[in-house]
Structure 1
Amino acid sequence: MKIIVVTGISGAGKTTALNILEDAGYVTMDNLLSNMVIFLLQNLDRGEKTLKIDKLALGLDNRTIHTAEDFMLIYNCLKNLNMNFEILFLDSSNETILKRYNLTRRRHPVEGATLLESIKNEKKAMSIIKEKATFVIDTTDITAKELKKEILEIISNTENIDINIHLESFGYKYGIPMDKDLIFDVRVLPNPYYVEELRSKTGNDKEVYDYVMENKDSEELYKKIYDMIKFLLPLYKKDNKQHLSIGIGCSGGQHRSVAFVNRLAKDLKEIKGIKILKRHREGVKEHWT
């Protein structure tokens, strides 16, 4: 049986994620109390016919998991029962959550003097859960369609995976992504933007990719970035980190960073026990010229 625990910050898209999983054939259950979740898991483990389920998605958030201890009881139960499970944590920027709550006019489940304070309090309380997550998706800038694509990629071929790597290209002119574990700056390399026939193309195009990668400095910088990531991977695994988010940035997020992310995705995929998720932020946000 495959179990996905869907959790995260209120307003970040948990309900949408559960709907996506339901459409993908998962039995979904939302907001069961922690003791009810443990009861369910124990009975599933005993193999009771009336509860036999192949794929299960459990929605958990601050409405029923009030403390880190509540979550750890569930987490330890999953570990002790040797269940095949993943934890999907949905996050978003404070500003985005503010906008979503102001739009829906719903009450935030965490107490605070202001809505912003409630959001900050929840993020602090949920930090331990985020650290345990197998996958973290920041929904600040993504559409429901893209969220569906990422979740479907996550639930495919997750067996024998030691660590999940999320690679994202971005443009510094549009802001630095705040959810990254590592960020590398490739603005020091020659910019294809200033080559007229390459300006409207992207790092997905062979002409741009070759222009970027055939430069001597590009090859050396790429090798150093790749070697650093490869060096860090066993250390992250040793620390039981299951999700690594890496950002590669250039000026506009269209040429150099895209080429680097594409090459990293191809090369890192060859390492055993690695699952790669790739995203070009400025392409999704339609910032490419």
Structure 2
Amino acid sequence: MFQLVFVTGLSGAGKTQALRSLEDLGFFCVDNLPPALIPKFTELCAQSAGQINRIALVVDIRGGEFFDTLFGVLTELRNSEIRYEILFLEASNETLVRRFKESRRRHPLNDDMLEGIMEERTRLLELRGRADRIIDTTNLTNQQLKEELYGIYGSDSDASKMVITVMSFGYKYGLPLDSDLVIDVRFLPNPHYEPSLKNFTGNDPVVQEYVFKSPVTSDFMERLTELVEFLIPYYIKEGKSSLTIAIGCTGGKHRSVTLANRMSDVLKKKDHRVIVKHRDIKRA
């Protein structure tokens, strides 16, 4: 089966790391190939008698005026019945600025780093809208990004093993755009109002003990687990290869983190492929 993945997104969001991870998974990887060459390149790979059947291509604004021809190339591929997937990587402005400063690199669009980032976001908006997968690397280490990509593209996974991402978040920072199921746990006892617990997180045993001390938490967790376990086979039957469960509380630091961790543990024990993320734990 021929597999073509376009890796794109914001500068500094982790495309280089993603390409290295895909290369480790057996993809034939090319960075910054001019879009005009993509149709001929994919044709040659498709005719390689199976020697090259997994390709990852990084395309981004470094291509300058060539990048603007990408949408025409994508249409050409579709008309040629060549299936492809777009993987879009992004991160918060603050994170991107920090990464550029740490690497001492300039932004490819503008010497003013923040202006360059904002301009790039605007130019990539349409491409982001076409993406099949969007990964926010703001709170991901290189290893965590690698694990997520392994979960999605790893050749050892079979079609029946869905990648389940369990994400905690804070409602005051907005809903996760890539979520399939959103669970509101703001009705549970809030450790934020306990002075001795306020500065801890749902990763700390004292907070977990406080949240689960309430009978309603255990009852809710049991019912939520039953619902998720009921839904998973039907999502797989529908053809979904990934599922994102977003669990939210007010700030994304205590209750949502506690329940996301517990949900992740339960699903892992049932032999599901699980990734856990805490989107807002450092912001609350």
Deviations 1:78-118 (A, max 9, x none): 43344453322110111111122223332322247x32111
Which residue matches 2:140? 142
Q: 2:253 aligned with 1:253, yes or no?
A: yes
Gapped regions of structure 2 (runs ≥ 5) = none
**C-alpha distance in 2 between matches for 1:80 and 1:12:** 31
Q: 1:68 to 1:221 in 2, by over 3 A?
A: farther
**Local SS of the residue matching 1:37:** helix
Q: 1:245 to 1:94 in 2, by over 3 A?
A: farther
Q: Does structure 2 retain, via aligned residues, the 8 Å contact 1:204–1:259?
A: no
Write the mapping of 1:95-244 to structure 2, written as runs, cut at 5 A.
95-111=94-110, 114-156=112-154, 166-170=165-169, 176=173, 180-181=177-178, 184-191=183-190, 212=212, 215=215
TM-score, length-normalised on structure 2? Answer: 0.69
Write the mapping of 1:8-87 to structure 2, written as runs, cut at 5 A.
8-45=9-46, 47-48=47-48, 52-64=51-63, 66=65, 69-87=68-86
**C-alpha distance in 2 between matches for 1:247 and 1:203:** 15
Amino acid at match of 1:6: V
Deviations 1:115-164 (A, max 9, x none): 21111110111112112222211111211111111111111368769x98
**C-alpha distance in 2 between matches for 1:13 and 1:246:** 23
**C-alpha distance in 2 between matches for 1:217 and 1:121:** 45
**Local SS of the residue matching 2:145:** helix
* Percent identity of paired positions between Structure 1 and Structure 2: 28
Q: Does structure 1 retain, via aligned residues, the 8 Å contact 2:170–2:280?
A: yes
Q: Does structure 1 retain, via aligned residues, the 8 Å contact 2:12–2:100?
A: yes
Amino acid at match of 2:259: A
**C-alpha distance in 1 between matches for 2:200 and 2:107:** 44
**C-alpha distance in 2 between matches for 1:154 and 1:190:** 35
Amino acid at match of 1:101: F
**C-alpha distance in 1 between matches for 2:125 and 2:244:** 15
TM-score, length-normalised on structure 1? Answer: 0.68
**C-alpha distance in 1 between matches for 2:79 and 2:222:** 41
Q: CA RMSD in A?
A: 4.8
